[in-house]
């Protein structure tokens, strides 16, 4: 299997963290091209035009970070990163989605609508121009502040985001916070539980995947 990757981008990193936690060694193919765009041969191969994408040995393709992680979890169940029973899996699923929608999407609202290199590319995956919308920058900043505080509260009772075990919800949360950092937005100093968690996750080898 091959994982098509854009090393600098936040979404592929959450899948690489997942691979590192499982100690899975896939062939990684870098597809970033000129002007911070995907390489044209990759877009031709995978018109969905997003990363990451998992290509099976027979050429079949799986896009979407979480679809890839769930597929790999079925093939390689240990260590479990999506929960150990139906209820835990639902909690991981819910918190991963919250981290993505409230963290990753908000960080994307700020970054994609300000960076010059992304003029006309306000959203990923579109071949036609998507204009930048300045009002989304402020909305993204507000949402990130709420995201930090919600996840700080969640960590009051738990060591990790979705409970007492490291899961893919931690990967998504960690990469969302890194992505917010690109816009110089960081965890507020009074979110001490989230800062404690960030230090703990940053110390895992997978954080450098």
Closest by CA position to 2, among listed 55, 66, 72: 55
Q: Does 98 participate in binding a copy of itself (rule CB under 8 A)? A: yes
1 touches 72 (CB < 8 A): no
φ, ψ dihedrals at 7, nearest 5°: -55, -35
The whole-angstrom separation of Cα 104 and Cα 115 is 16
Q: Which is nearer to a copy of itself, 131 or 205 (CB)?
A: 131
Q: Quick count: other Cβ atoms within 10 Å of Cβ 165? A: 17
Q: Does 119 participate in binding a copy of itself (rule CB under 8 A)? A: no
169 touches 162 (CB < 8 A): yes
* Least distance between a copy of itself and beta carbon 208 (Å): 27
Q: Which is nearer to a copy of itself, 108 or 207 (CB)?
A: 108
Q: Does 67 participate in binding a copy of itself (rule CB under 8 A)? A: yes
122 touches 159 (CB < 8 A): no
Q: Which is nearer to a copy of itself, 67 or 202 (CB)?
A: 67
Q: Does 133 participate in binding a copy of itself (rule CB under 8 A)? A: yes
Contact positions vs a copy of itself (CB under 8 A)? 48, 56, 60, 62-64, 66-68, 70-71, 74-75, 86-87, 89-91, 93-94, 97-98, 122-123, 126, 128, 130-131, 133, 135-136, 139, 142-143, 146
């Amino acid at each position: 299997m091959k994982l098509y990757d854009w090393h600098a981008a936040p979404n592929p990193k959450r899948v690489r963290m997942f691979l590192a936690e499982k100690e899975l060694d896939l062939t990684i193919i870098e597809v970033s091209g000129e002007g911070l765009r995907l390489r044209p041969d990759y877009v031709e191969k995978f018109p969905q035009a997003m990363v990451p994408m998992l290509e099976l040995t027979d050429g079949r393709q799986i896009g979407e970070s979480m679809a890839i992680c769930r597929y790999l979890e079925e093939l390689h169940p240990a260590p479990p990163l999506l929960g150990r029973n139906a209820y835990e899996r639902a909690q991981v699923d819910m918190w991963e989605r919250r981290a993505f929608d409230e963290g990753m999407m908000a960080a994307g609202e700020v970054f994609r609508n300000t960076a010059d290199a992304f003029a006309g590319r306000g959203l990923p995956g579109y071949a036609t121009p998507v204009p930048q919308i300045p009002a989304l920058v402020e909305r993204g900043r507000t949402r990130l502040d709420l995201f930090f505080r919600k996840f700080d509260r969640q960590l009051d009772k738990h060591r990790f985001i979705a409970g007492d075990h490291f899961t893919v919800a931690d990967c998504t949360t960690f990469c969302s916070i890194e992505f917010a950092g690109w816009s110089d937005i960081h965890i507020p100093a009074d979110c001490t539980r989230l800062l404690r968690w960030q230090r703990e996750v940053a110390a895992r080898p997978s954080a450098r995947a």
